[in-house]
Amino acid sequence: MSAPAFWQRRGWPACLLLPLGGLFWLFAGLRRLAYRRGWLPAHQVGVPVVVVGNLGAGGAGKTPLVMRLVDDLRQAGHVPGVISRGYGGHGRGTQLVDAESDPAVVGDEPVLIARVAACPVAVGRDRVAAARLLRSQHPAVDVILSDDGLQHYALARDIEIVVVNGEAGFGNAWPLPAGPLREPLARLKRADAVVLMQRPGVSPPRLEHPRVFAVGPRAGRIYSLVRPGASLEAAGQTRNIVAVAGIARPQQFFRTLEGLGFILAEQRAFPDHHVFRAADLAAGLPVVMTEKDAVKCRPYARPGWYALEWRVEENADLRTWLAQELASLLSSQPARTGAGASPAS
């Protein structure tokens, strides 16, 4: 679902929910403490694990960053794999995902990763089980990226990367459900790095962390779902389009299309991970959607439906730092096992 507007300020709706938020943070803090002290086990899976997560609910850009990091790790000579919860899918247990998997079963983001990043992907509510399945079926994988899962402490992690949306920031900085935060802002200090998704002209939030990498989202081609080689350009009559988004922050997608020169005759915003029907997309003009939505609509796609490529720009400093961190881990721990346990970060 889209983030409620009251998460951006400390008005009366947020104040009414603040007692529930306090209970949420109390429970979350006790849980973190239990893993940190070893009262609850955090399981290793035999290869380094890099968790890419965020402190708040709603879209921060984790999935595009994961796809960027897959490319960076390949350039450094690694064989990366990705695990995900598979949010939005109704499948049970753990399973592998490929480019042709059904998003209704495994979730839209894992299918998008499998299509775009072309790497091994596994999904499951139990991230440990998903990681072990991935390794059993793809033994060449030597590093696992967890798309989300910062709060899934049962999976021991070697590197934590927290993603911050530079436009949305942390809202009112209050805990769920009074605000967007799953964990306090102080949790940032325990992460290994922070990646700031920064748009031009937007003042970023102040981040109390010694290692912040700023990256910019980059709009790519707008391609046809029926004929992927065909593109849509903002010229002539095609400047008028219907924009469709079933993501956490649809307005950012709409503004991107306007920045590309399109005239949005209609903006259709749906809840995050929305299960589309053909009727949702019926229009007399070209329809442009996100790639995340496109993986769900491809089976019944019609001429005139398009998807916008959305990527994260390369950051050489981030790529170098991650490669060095992994090299240090592998050199200091030459014999990793899948049965051990280690404290969560």
Phi, psi of 236 (to 5 degrees): 60, -140
The answer to whether the CB of 298 falls within 8 A of the CB of 225 is: yes
Position 341 pLDDT exceeds 50: no
Instruction: Dump pLDDT digits (tens) for 156-179.
Output: 999 999 999 887 788 899 999 999
Which helix (H) or strand (E) is 307 found in, with range? strand 305-312
Give the single-character DSSP code of 289. Answer: E
How would CATH label the architecture of 10-216+314-332? 3-Layer(aba) Sandwich (3.40)
- Written as six digits, the tokens of 314 are 């390369």
Position 237 pLDDT exceeds 70: no
Q: How far is the C-alpha of 74 from the C-alpha of 70, rounded, in Å?
A: 6
Q: How far is the C-alpha of 123 from the C-alpha of 128, rounded, in Å?
A: 10
Position 63 pLDDT exceeds 50: yes
Phi, psi of 123 (to 5 degrees): -125, 155
Please report the pLDDT score of residue 5 as a whole number: 83
Please report the pLDDT score of residue 261 as a whole number: 93
The pLDDT of 103-128, averaged and rounded, is: 95
The pLDDT of 274-296, averaged and rounded, is: 92
Position 58 pLDDT exceeds 80: no
Please report the pLDDT score of residue 336 as a whole number: 52
Rounded percentage of the chain residues whose pLDDT exceeds 70: 94
Please report the pLDDT score of residue 206 as a whole number: 80
Please report the pLDDT score of residue 113 as a whole number: 96
Report the predicted TM-score, pTM, of the whole model to 2 decimal places.
0.89
User: Hey, which residues does 118 pair with through a beta bridge?
Assistant: none
Please report the pLDDT score of residue 333 as a whole number: 66
Position 344 pLDDT exceeds 90: no
Name which residue leads in pLDDT, 336 or 211. 211
Please report the pLDDT score of residue 240 as a whole number: 92
Name which residue leads in pLDDT, 70 or 166. 70
Rounded percentage of the chain residues whose pLDDT exceeds 90: 71
Say if strands 193-197 and 212-215 run parallel, antiparallel, or are unpaired.
Answer: parallel
- Written as six digits, the tokens of 84 are 């995900």
Position 2 pLDDT exceeds 70: no
Instruction: Dump pLDDT digits (tens) for 73-112.
Output: 999 999 999 999 988 888 889 999 999 999 999 999 999 9
The answer to whether the CB of 268 falls within 8 A of the CB of 243 is: yes
Which helix (H) or strand (E) is 9 found in, with range? none
